[in-house]
Amino acid sequence: MRRFSKLKKRIESLFSPDLGLKIYCTVYKRKGCYGWMELPRFWITLDKEIIFDWLKDFKGMRRPDPSYPRGCPVYYMDILFVTEMLQEYIETPSDRLFDHVLYKDYYGLSDILKAADRRIGVKRLKILRGRTESEAARKIIDVRLSARIKSAKGSKELCSVILWVISDSSDLKDYNLLAFEIPCGVYGNVIDVPEIALNAKSGNTYNHKKLWEDEIENNPAHKSYNRKPYNYYPRGRVDISNNRATIYLNPNIDRADVISEIRQKFGLNTQNIQKVRVVADNSEHYKCFIDQKW
């Protein structure tokens, strides 16, 4: 089972971390007419409740097979299909994943994995809930959506953020906060994919330069400052990881009023997250027009 333990770790790393969803696979020895047999079992639990149990849930089912006009009975060696599907799911690019059906998925495993996947946002979860025939997938989606509603009622939504502080005055008087937020969980997992595509290499946030060039530069909606380069104004970002938020920013905006606004607008409070850290980054990366030798 050593090989499956590696597969289990990789697939579970894709699940929304607040779910408590686990997958298991084992082999039972059973004495038959011709000696001892090894019978595999694969199952999924949601908060310790078994919601998918292969082979038990599929006894008597007949799957498509060209050699059998009425279909082939589900056989214990079909466990190979299950492990192959898990591997296929991991290797499927995220931009093709939502509409992709796993090869030889006779058991509805595709929808269960998508329902748990932290990369699938609220909009697509609702679409999946309406079209899936899997009761297990619907249970998972209901848990994720209800947790989201409770979070929204309790406080501002937790977000990672890319931001600029817009002001042409060196004392930043009457500044405006220009921010692009990404709703996420306490481990940084994207909960709801924004309309503007995430363009950083990591795939779960934005790159300042690319975002400015794509969304701000020459955009009439940002007329008063859209002809400036991306690094003209002081900027920063909020990263969420391991139940902690880190606010990275140019030292010129490491001010109580700016920090307070960021914390308030993007859910950086004790109801949402354990700890908030501020890092005033004096490196060349965050230099702006206020800094000498800019």
What is the per-residue pLDDT for 1? 45
The pairing of strands 244-249 and 176-183 is: unpaired
* Cα–Cα distance for residue pair 108/78, rounded to 1 Å: 14
Work out the average pLDDT over 106-113: 90
Q: Token pair of 221, please?
A: 């909606």
**pLDDT tens readout for residues 266-292:** 989 877 788 999 999 999 999 999 996
| Window from 27-41, 50-64, 96-110, 143-157 with minimum mean pLDDT | 143-157
**pLDDT tens readout for residues 68-79:** 555 566 566 667
Give the ranges where the chain is alpha helix by DSSP (H): 2-12, 79-91, 94-97, 109-116, 122-131, 135-154, 208-211, 256-265
